[in-house]
Amino acid sequence: MSLPIKLICRKNRVHADGTCSIFVQYCCNENQKPLFGTDVKIPPIYWDNGSRSISDRLPATHGDYNELNNELKRLKKIVEDIVTYAGLKKIPIEARAEFTKKHFSPTFDFDDIEAKEKEAAEKQETEKKNKLSVYYQFDEFIKSKKRKVSKATLTVYGNVKSHLLAFEEFRNQQITFDSFDFSFYEDFVDYLTFEHVHIRRKTLLVGLKLNTIGKTIKHLRGFIKDRVKRKVIKPIDLSDFRIPEEESDAIYLTHEEIAKIYQTDLSEHPHLTEYRDLFVLACLTGLRFSDFSTLRPEDLQRDMLYKKQEKSDHWVIIPLRHEAKLIFTRQFRDRIPELTNPEFNRHIKTIGKLAGITQIVKFSYKKGNQTITVTKPKYEWITSHTARRSFCTNEFLAGTPVELIMKISGHKRTKDFYKYIRITPEEAAMKVKELWLARNDMKLIKETVSEIELQYN
């Protein structure tokens, strides 16, 4: 049975020079009848539909009819050979037209088809492997989160990917999804603790703090679980991937210290005034840098700030103290200066020093089994986030119910909120003592202290 392949001349499509093109047509099915160009053109009158060949009456000016017919037979044979090969390879009939189009060319060498198919199969396998690579999937994970999380969180995801790449280069061993076992976890945490070199630092700094490592492990776990849920990879046991953490060392500023900063004479440093006022505004509202640096006039309504938090994509409504409203309406109602976080942190430290916030503060953190202690003046510990922490701590100490503070700060979990409370043991003791006095000391016996003392004198 002959193959449904034939030579045709499209007599209804005549070129400007009076010739028509001849094609090889493969009638795969009713809907698939691809044409393959032959580069042979003749006046339509010299095409014989019966024999499907060029007539011997073709003028020599258009070429030798025998040579042209032989060329057409050769090209038709190429199409027949490719279709036959597709049948031997059990390629479905509906896919054979596309397969033939993919491989046909006037210079086709049948011996090359195996090599081409092997190359295509290898390419397909490589693409499949690439799509299953940790880093390709991490990019897909980040893409899926772009409309769900803040830019800051996307940056954290990118940092986790960078840490993995750096670890892979450090130990010269490719990381795959099969790598994620307990040994990997231990080696990765050790690398982040003792070997990871901070980029974009003027001075060499090696090793991450415990909470930063914990954040890396937390988001790595989240990425792996997401890929499992989407059935991209098989389930991976992450029960041993513990999230290390320690209570972070961070200061807060009392109302007295905030007032001290606000009242500092900056006449010799006028460029710091905007930074100082914006920091105080943040201390009185609990806003993050990403939020207080993007305030707009329309955010103020009925003496309250209505702000959608960038990090959580959550609306908060913040009542303004008289001082906060004064700062916003007088200084920033029309324009919030364009700031970067590092620039803001640098200037607010200078302002803290000018304000006399100079008491020595000692903090420590873990690095492996070592305790690293750092001692600096308090102003050196001030950052943009100190403002948010100060707001939460001062309201907590003033007795504002935690649930109400969280409504303003935007915290969704009390566990996360309490991480912001930064009070010394002495402050905690004094607060408890105030509560005792407010409850009339909760006296269990009627004798007064003086009566008890008389009994023992």
Interatomic CA distance for residues 214 and 189, integer angstroms: 9
Pair 332, 281: CB distance under 8 Å = yes
% of the chain with per-residue pLDDT over 70 = 91
Interatomic CA distance for residues 455 and 457, integer angstroms: 6
Which residue has better confidence, 164 or 366? Answer: 164
Region 211-216: mean pLDDT is 92
In this model, does residue 437 exceed pLDDT 60?
yes
In this model, does residue 130 exceed pLDDT 90?
no
Binning pLDDT at 50, 70 and 90, where does residue 390 land? very high
Beta-bridge mates of residue 373: 364
Interatomic CA distance for residues 280 and 287, integer angstroms: 11
Region 239-249: mean pLDDT is 84
pLDDT in tens, 193-207: 999 988 766 667 888
The model scores a pTM over 0.75: no
Binning pLDDT at 50, 70 and 90, where does residue 451 land? low
Residue 64's pLDDT is 95
In this model, does residue 217 exceed pLDDT 80?
yes
Residue 299's pLDDT is 87
Residue 1's pLDDT is 45
Region 300-322: mean pLDDT is 86
Region 342-347: mean pLDDT is 92
Region 303-330: mean pLDDT is 86
Interatomic CA distance for residues 195 and 206, integer angstroms: 6
Interatomic CA distance for residues 176 and 164, integer angstroms: 11
Residue 450's pLDDT is 56
Residue 453's pLDDT is 57
In this model, does residue 212 exceed pLDDT 80?
yes
Say which range, 141-155, 255-269, 272-286, has the weakest mean pLDDT. 141-155
Residue 73's pLDDT is 95
Mean pLDDT for the chain overall: 87
Q: Which two tokens stand for residue 326?
A: 């004064």
In this model, does residue 37 exceed pLDDT 70?
yes
Q: Which two tokens stand for residue 89?
A: 């390879």
Region 272-298: mean pLDDT is 90
Residue 257's pLDDT is 95
Region 390-403: mean pLDDT is 89
In this model, does residue 311 exceed pLDDT 50?
yes
Interatomic CA distance for residues 276 and 283, integer angstroms: 11
Interatomic CA distance for residues 130 and 152, integer angstroms: 27
Region 15-21: mean pLDDT is 94
Region 301-315: mean pLDDT is 84
Region 87-102: mean pLDDT is 90
Cα 216-218-222 angle, rounded to 5 deg: 115
Radius of gyration of the chain (CA): 38
267-296 per-residue burial string, b: 16 or more CB within 10 A, e: under 16: eeeeebebbbbbbbbbbbbbbbbebbbebe
In this model, does residue 110 exceed pLDDT 50?
yes
% of the chain with per-residue pLDDT over 90 = 51
